[in-house]
Amino acid sequence: MYASITRRLVLASGLAAALSVSGAAIAQADELDDIVKAGVLKVGIFEDFPPFSSAGTDLKSQGYDIDVINALAKALGVTPELTGITGQNRIPSLIEHKLNLLVSVGVSDERKKVVAFTAPYAPYSIDVMGPKALAVKGPADLAGKSVAVNRGTLEDTSVTEVAPEGTDIQRFNDYNGVISAFLSGQVQLMVVGNDVGAAVLAKHPDIEPESKFQLLNSPSAMAINKGEDRLLAKLDETLAQMKKDGTLDAISKKWLFIPLPPEL
Amino acid sequence: MGYQLDFGALVQYFGLFLEGTAVTLGLTAVASLLGIALGVAGAAVSLGKCLWCRRIVAAYVELIRNSPFIVQMFFIFFGLPSLGLRLSAMQAAALAMTINLTAYAIEILRAGLEAVPTGQREAARSMGLRPLLVFTLIVLPQAVANVYPALVGQITITMLESAVVSQIAVVDLTHVGDFIQSRNFRSFETYLIITAIYLVLAVLMRRMLALAGRRLFAGRGR
């Protein structure tokens, strides 16, 4: 009996070893070739992150990210396969090769240790927004003005940090409160991410809101597995082409209601 | 289980707690004084002779008592600016609370007025008092005495319900709690303190108003 258990253990570990070898072999194969050969680009997307990606009325995903993914897939001559992911599981899913590509990833040094980043492809910023007619150029101009924020968010803490004495920061429970207070004129300014800002710009209010200045600018990039240099080069080349021929600018205007920032 | 209470993280916010308590009490005081005064007027009208006045008061009471307070407040704060009436958050909160309390006070005081025996009014009239004086000197004090506990209860409810004004960024006691826990993430301790402050306020308010009532209405009421 003991002998049989031992034999099984030996078998199992042998199998595991074989598996890990073949795993390594897969990882060493070129991912770009694999994608083209399979004809499918597997991309992880957020399911509820408008206007970058969210379900439309027909329940199909739509948004900035989706348009970019479709354009990329077209350039590679493959079909995109979208998988809903969460902020917690997306990098593990990529590393385990369940996905080829992640979109809407903020570039950070910690993440650079585990994944490779393409060039940034989408603006992501926290802006102080106000009516066109109101002159605000920097934090010092906030004194004496009322500013709406969503309480406890990064917007709240970052504007609280820079706001001078005499700034009337009004904290609301959610973005609806912030947007309503701003659009009804109850506050002069609001601090939101450009994703929320786009929802306001989409309404084309009479006050013509615009970004007065940025509290944070962290354009989103795409992430792929490390070591896939050919895939990375191909993606960067395609993104550069999309920036040059205005495709990306058109996507930005369509979903964010702003032209693509020149620094991208 | 493994949770360590840490009230030390709250000490630096002592001033904010005081500020929030003051705002909550201030709003309650304004809403109560105005609400009860308007409630008396509304109750008198609803028992008066003018049919249309009665209908308007009845419609007002129905509308306010059958819609959520938070919606009434949002209407005033977010909705009225579209009509050109822009109130500050504090004004909107005070107005919403007053409008709300008035509706309940009308119903409570109407019951109180109805319970005053007609003989009281007739006797006063026969002494030669003018109708306004009959109402203010004879009928109203008895009416209020009749329903005083219910009025005190309604004022306490108004104070507790005022927590909702934190939603339009009025820095009341609840807003202070939300703010502090969004900064130090000590939500358990923060809301424990906030709850304790509300509890103490409500109990004290009831006691003091009951004491005042015993003095004001000594010998009256039933």
pLDDT digits (tens, 9 = 90+) for A210-247: 999 999 999 999 999 999 999 999 999 999 999 999 99
- Write out residues in chain B with pLDDT < 70, as ranges: 1, 219-222
Query: Do B169 and A170 make contact, defined as CB atoms within 8 angstroms?
Result: yes
Query: Do B183 and A152 make contact, defined as CB atoms within 8 angstroms?
Result: yes
Location of structure tokens 């026969």: B126
Least confident span in A47-51, A79-83, A135-139? A47-51
Strands (E), chain A: 40-46, 48-49, 53-55, 61-62, 79-85, 101-106, 115-117, 125-131, 146-150, 168-172, 189-193, 209-217, 220-225
Closest Cα of chain B to A164: distance in Å?
A: 19
In A158-177, the residues whose Cβ lies within 8 Å of chain B are 170-173, 177
pTM above 0.95, yes or no: no
Query: Do B182 and A152 make contact, defined as CB atoms within 8 angstroms?
Result: yes
B12 Cβ contact partners less than 8 Å away, ≥ 6 residues apart: none
Output the pLDDT for position A24: 46
Burial classification of residue A49, based on how many CB atoms lie within 10 Å of its CB (0-12 exposed, 13-18 middle, 19 or more buried): middle
Chain B CB contacts of A156 below 8 Å: 182
SS3 of B186, please?
Answer: coil
Chain B CB contacts of A185 below 8 Å: 81, 86
Question: Model confidence over A79-122: pLDDT tens digits?
Answer: 999 999 988 899 999 999 999 999 999 999 989 999 999 999 99
Closest residue of chain B to A183, computed from CA coordinates:
B78
Q: What is the largest CA-CA distance in chain A?
A: 86
Output the pLDDT for position B222: 47
Look over chain A and give the mean of its residue pLDDT values, rounded to a whole number. Answer: 89
Output the pLDDT for position B219: 64
Output the pLDDT for position A59: 85
